[in-house]
Structure 1
């Protein structure tokens, strides 16, 4: 089954709305895949993902719906989708736009989910579940062609 490049771009964006590091990690890994910089890019991506996973759980972390954080998520989603489109030889501009739109949707959806989840379970449980969704969606989109 062939997956539409538009769906992949939106998925990367959505994951970036949940965790902005997902778009950054996707960009780094896709941009340098198959080059001598691949291991360094993968390491930087892993540090970014782990760092955000920790910072996201701190009570002092601001809302993802506030600027400049929201702008960063939108940029990360667009960049990650752009990198995958470049790798796959598909329309890069369309990918960046869909990735950015997906980031906005993911930011809003993730914010609403966390508000709901915090009434049903400990806040950490909701945040960890969101981590799993963001990482799974990113892995799927990275491998989908």
Structure 2
């Protein structure tokens, strides 16, 4: 079988896995919101209207498998992207494939969606993208008989959750924490570049700028798409960079970082609103959130001790 056909088959398997993860996330999101997550209730991508019905689960599954197949062919052709980049790109491709026809057929108008609608659409597609890419990498690694990377330890997943939560509060907190605790010789391209002199300076300046911008009245809600999407991507990126730096597999930490970033963003908005009601201003809540994000970033990115580092490296030496 040619490499293209092999990549197509592997991608189809990965796309099916990603579609399952997306469907599960959509269902759980509907359950959390207190309503069924079926075609009749979700605004996008399986919305029903009085005139037409949007594509159902079968079409959504076919789309997910097709996008995964295309990713498999590209990987077989030599395009190898890390999950923290390839995952969100596949998620965006799935969003475009699902939302484009809805807009073209005037079944749904994204301009009328609320923040809740956008979150309900963006998060499942990001989960689809990360799950599809991670599955494709894992399947390809096994098929190519490449040495597997040790899975993330419980401590690594806790660090990933801390970095994601820090990013949900302040979008630059996670990557800045990685930059300040990494060096140019560290494993992993992301950690090494962030740990360079330029990476450290740029990330620190971005973090300082965000601390100021966060307090301005004109700053848009972090739950709007322009605020939520970067937090999800950067949460996954910082968590994956930490895992790769510690020589663990990045797949599960990236998913944990993505999920905790979204959860922390929503929780932070509620806490700020509660502080505004209590103190007449959200500034006390904002400064408290600054401190919490800094602490979580440090806890997630701090270097392991010498003994822990030796234990981490031991599986790779065998």
Which structure has the higher relative contact order (CA within 8 Å, separation 6+)?
1
- 224, 236, 243: which one pairs with 1:78? 236
Q: Provide the secondary structure at the position in 1 that maps to 2:218.
A: coil
CA RMSD of aligned residues (A): 2.0
Q: Alpha carbons of 1:76 and 1:11: their partners in 2 closer, same or farther (altered >3 Å)?
A: same
- 216, 222, 233: which one pairs with 1:58? 216
The CA deviation at 1:28 is 3.9
- 270, 285, 300: which one pairs with 1:141? 300
- 72, 87, 96: which one pairs with 2:254? 96
Match of 2:266 in 1: 108
Match of 1:130 in 2: 289
Which ranges of 4 or more aligned residues in structure 1 deviate by more than 6 Å?
A: none
1:6 aligns with 2:157: yes
Match of 2:128 in 1: none
Q: TM-score, normalised by structure 1?
A: 0.90
Larger Rg: 2
Task: Output one character per residue of 1:74-103: Cα deviation in whole Å (capped at 9) or x when no partner.
Answer: 001000001101101112011111100010
1:15 aligns with 2:171: no
Does structure 2 retain, via aligned residues, the 8 Å contact 1:23–1:78? Answer: no
Task: Output one character per residue of 1:110-142: Cα deviation in whole Å (capped at 9) or x when no partner.
Answer: 111101111112321211110010011101111
5+ long unaligned stretches in structure 2: 1-152, 186-191, 305-318
Does structure 1 retain, via aligned residues, the 8 Å contact 2:178–2:301? Answer: no
5+ long unaligned stretches in structure 1: none
Q: TM-score, normalised by structure 2?
A: 0.42
Q: Provide the secondary structure at the position in 1 that maps to 2:278.
A: coil
Distance 1:3 1:34 in 2: 26
Distance 2:228 2:155 in 1: 26
- Count the aligned residue pairs: 143
The CA deviation at 1:144 is 5.7
The CA deviation at 1:23 is 2.5
The CA deviation at 1:27 is 4.6
1:33 aligns with 2:183: yes
Match of 1:117 in 2: 275
The CA deviation at 1:45 is 1.5
Q: Provide the secondary structure at the position in 1 that maps to 2:172.
A: helix
